[in-house]
Amino acid sequence: MDYKLLVEQFNALSEGVNEQVTVLANAASLLYCSLPDLNWAGFYLARPGELILGPFMGRPACVRIPMGRGVCGTAAAKNETLVVPDVHLFPGHIACDSASAAEIVIPLHTPGGALFGVLDIDSPIQNRFTPEDRAGLEAFAKALEAAL
């Protein structure tokens, strides 16, 4: 996967766009349409004590995730990227789409460093997300933070 090109495409799409929902919606679509073997790509946004569903591509998903719950809530509470090779082995995984087998969740921050939300990407294939995917998607997340 050419993550450098993906970041360039994202930057071109979001240049001059001052609406967060617009930036996030196109980012979700770009990721979903560019990365092979995904069944969900999108955002959960930080609210007091919980995450709420943001723009995404894929099947309808759970609307609220308490901080510290599931993969998304755990990544948000720990403020660190989580790569889960097999979601069925993750304690407390929230199964929004039964097709999901692997997942990566990357926290996003405001310019001041507060938690903005998380980028959540799901795949129907176990072990889908390699260290290269993690590095590429963390670079994508940095570009996203700069555009918000």
Binding stretches for ligand SME (CB under 6 A): 40, 61, 65, 70-73, 93-94, 96, 100, 103, 120, 122
Choice between 24 and 65, CB closer to ligand SME = 65
In whole angstroms, the minimum distance from the beta carbon of 142 to ligand SME comes to: 22
Sign of CA dihedral 139, 140, 142, 143: positive
In whole angstroms, the minimum distance from the beta carbon of 75 to ligand SME comes to: 8
User: In this structure, are residues 5 and 135 in contact, taking their beta carbons and an 8 Å threshold?
Assistant: no
Distances (CA, A) of 111 to 49, 64, 114: 20, 24, 8
Distances (CA, A) of 123 to 16, 61, 118: 31, 14, 16
Choice between 35 and 65, CB closer to ligand SME = 65
In whole angstroms, the minimum distance from the beta carbon of 134 to ligand SME comes to: 17
**Of the candidates 67, 136, 141, 129, the residue with the CA atom closest to the CA atom of residue 104:** 129
Choice between 62 and 148, CB closer to ligand SME = 62
In whole angstroms, the minimum distance from the beta carbon of 1 to ligand SME comes to: 20
Choice between 96 and 144, CB closer to ligand SME = 96
Choice between 31 and 65, CB closer to ligand SME = 65
* Beta strands 50-58; 40-47: pairing state: antiparallel
In whole angstroms, the minimum distance from the beta carbon of 109 to ligand SME comes to: 19
d(CA 23, CA 77): 24
